[in-house]
Amino acid sequence: MRNQPIYDIAEICSRKGLTHAVLCPGSRCAPLILAFTRHPAIQCRTITDERSAAFIALGIARQTKKPVAVVSTSGTAAYNFSPAVAEAYFSQTPLLIFTADRPAEWITQHDGQTIYQAALYGRHVKGFYSLPQQYEHPDDRWHINRIINEAVNLANAEPKGPVHINTPFREPFYPAPDEAFSYSKNVRIIEEHNTICLTDEVKEKIATALPTYRNILIVAGQLDADPELVTAMQPIAGRIPVFTGILSNLHQLQHGIRYADAFLTKPSDELTTRLKPDLLISFGKSVLSKNLKLFLRKFPQLEHWHIQPHTTATDPFQNLTRNIVANPQEFFTFINSLTLKQSEQFSKNWAAEDQRIRQRLTSFFPQSELSELALVNSVLGQLPDHCNLHLANSMSVRYAEYIGLQPHQKVSVFSNRGTSGIDGCTSTAVGHSFVSDALNILITGDLAFFYDRNAFWHNYPLPNLRVVLLNNHGGIIFKLIDGPADLPEAEEYFVTRQPLTAKTLCTEFGVDYLPVKQAENVPALLDEFFKSTGKPKVLELESSIDLNKTVFEKFKQNLTQAP
């Protein structure tokens, strides 16, 4: 078979652990589609909208923690993967992006569906490969095998991320009617072993340095839920303040600092002095809290260690002094064994501020107004155990960060905070739903939801997907942040009013629709919302931007008032 080396791509991927592929319709990509769909160990789904398809693949990869193949035909179809590719790069999610292409000699020759596909995604992929156009010579087949092995290994290497494989095909794309189809039994697999561990030399340096600091602060960025990491950090969180924003998935720490974003809003000089660390230990990806970032940037001479399983220096607080290449769990397990001289008063200062905000939150809710913030508070409080919580960008993730989760809640949290775009939030949650038996609950705003409506445009059931839609008919964030709110152009060019509701979309795609009408009905409505009916559900709150702005501003004033 002429296309045997292409069919064997699926076999190599399977033997290297890939179990899912997302395929977009097209003719030029037919050899790849046949390779993946006919493989018995790879589950394939076809998604027509390439932009949605790539985000769905992203969600599958995050849930399974394995690379996922996503395949497009040639031309602009491949370009539509770009937003998800960028998100995968910055969120360190492994994807294998296969883009079918014309042979090189046909580029710029007025041939259909032809663009410049070489290095299409620029620096937003870990690597770019182009397969040979000919497969007849043994070296070509060896080259294809080597590229696929290397691409999968690269996607899996820390920091994980997307890899682009451009695949130029000549006709015929389809096998002859009498042509046998099979996978080679002797495909070569190139394994790669990267062991990341603390060396004895690094341990000695840490053991010598740590006891010289008395005001240690630990900051966790975005992390996947990891019960073993929580276990390793429980003893530390009782001695050292550990910031655990909602995206850190460390809410189960009994003594975590959850509300730093609230109590670091314009802190006084006296409070800044009491909370100033002399050693910052950070780990994980980006931190959502802008106020925490601004606070830590006040101390350019601060000693700052960052723990991560790769060598790329990340310095969001502008004071990095030591990059420790290690698994965070191993690092914190090790320092549990050390004798520290942490100031008890410093730890109490952070805990007292966190407790003050916690009490303010408790006294603020419930509210008589049926606002977005009140609904998010109710949803977070009633989340069932062992669910996945997905937070769309803009105000949805910020509401959740302010309210937070509590130690008893067994919830895994996800959000597209690699690039923080609204474009694929629903599709990513759909990807999780495809491969997770857990209930997947997305809290989203109206612009993000309607922008990504094609997340529902496919033929696959989503019985475990729930969407909480905060529909204020515009971009409320532009009424809340400094700058655009008071501009005369705000309504038309920033807020961008829109009149849609989810009711028609739900009818169109066979989704159960639950409108929220009265505050007192919310608990019962949420019970119904979380129950299984074999179909996805959308819970929609329509409310005004002005009401939500007033409630949110009153909420922040309540949090920042002096005790």
Residue 91 domain-assigned (yes or no): yes
Within this chain, do residues 32 and 151 fall inside the same structural domain, yes or no? yes
CA distance 353 to 471: 33
pTM across the whole model: 0.95
249 phi/psi in degrees, rounded to 5: 60, 30
CA distance 455 to 49: 8
Within this chain, do residues 223 and 249 fall inside the same structural domain, yes or no? yes
CB 403, CB 262: distance < 8 Å: no
Within this chain, do residues 126 and 207 fall inside the same structural domain, yes or no? no
The total of other beta-carbon atoms located within 10 Å of residue 340's CB is 15
CA distance 59 to 431: 4
Per the structure, the complete domain to which residue 114 belongs is given by 4-168
CATH code of 91's domain: 3.40.50.970
CATH code of 320's domain: 3.40.50.1220
Within this chain, do residues 97 and 211 fall inside the same structural domain, yes or no? no
Within this chain, do residues 291 and 410 fall inside the same structural domain, yes or no? no
Within this chain, do residues 142 and 207 fall inside the same structural domain, yes or no? no
H or E stretch covering 433 = helix 425-435
**CB burial class (10 A; 0-12, 13-18, 19+) of residue 296?**
buried
Residue 176 domain-assigned (yes or no): no
Within this chain, do residues 254 and 390 fall inside the same structural domain, yes or no? no
Out of 357, 378, 403, a domain closes at 357
Out of 357, 385, 400, a domain closes at 357
SS3 168: strand
Within this chain, do residues 440 and 348 fall inside the same structural domain, yes or no? no
Asked if residue 159 has a cis previous peptide bond (ω within 30° of 0), the answer is yes
Q: Detail the DSSP E strand segments found in 472-526.
A: 512-516
Residue 189 domain-assigned (yes or no): no
Q: Label residues 202-227 b or e (16+ Cβ within 10 Å = b).
A: bbeebeeebeebebbbbbbbbbebee
Q: What is the pLDDT of residue 562?
A: 62
Residue 188 domain-assigned (yes or no): no
User: Which string of DSSP letters, residue by residue, matches 449-463?
Assistant: HHHTGGGG-SS---T
Within this chain, do residues 327 and 389 fall inside the same structural domain, yes or no? no
Asked if residue 241 has a cis previous peptide bond (ω within 30° of 0), the answer is no
Within this chain, do residues 351 and 374 fall inside the same structural domain, yes or no? no
CB half-sphere exposure, 506, CA atoms < 13 A? 20
Strand 512-516's sheet: what is its strand order?
411-414, 387-391, 440-445, 465-471, 537-542, 512-516
Residue 181 domain-assigned (yes or no): no
CB 64, CB 93: distance < 8 Å: no
Q: What is the pLDDT of residue 168?
A: 95
Q: Which residues pair with 167 in a beta bridge?
A: 100
Within this chain, do residues 372 and 505 fall inside the same structural domain, yes or no? yes
SS3 321: coil
CB 288, CB 404: distance < 8 Å: no
Q: Which of 372, 351, 153, 129 is CA-nearest to residue 253? A: 351
Out of 357, 384, 408, a domain closes at 357
- Tokens encoding 30: 């037919």
Residue 461 domain-assigned (yes or no): yes
Within this chain, do residues 245 and 345 fall inside the same structural domain, yes or no? yes
Residue 177 domain-assigned (yes or no): no
SS3 325: strand
Residue 190 domain-assigned (yes or no): no
99 phi/psi in degrees, rounded to 5: -120, 120
The total of other beta-carbon atoms located within 10 Å of residue 78's CB is 29
Strand 322-325's sheet: what is its strand order?
242-244, 216-220, 279-283, 303-308, 322-325
CB 42, CB 215: distance < 8 Å: no
CB 227, CB 253: distance < 8 Å: no
CB 261, CB 289: distance < 8 Å: yes
- Residue ranges of the chain with pLDDT lower than 50? none
Total domains present in the chain = 3
CB 187, CB 11: distance < 8 Å: yes
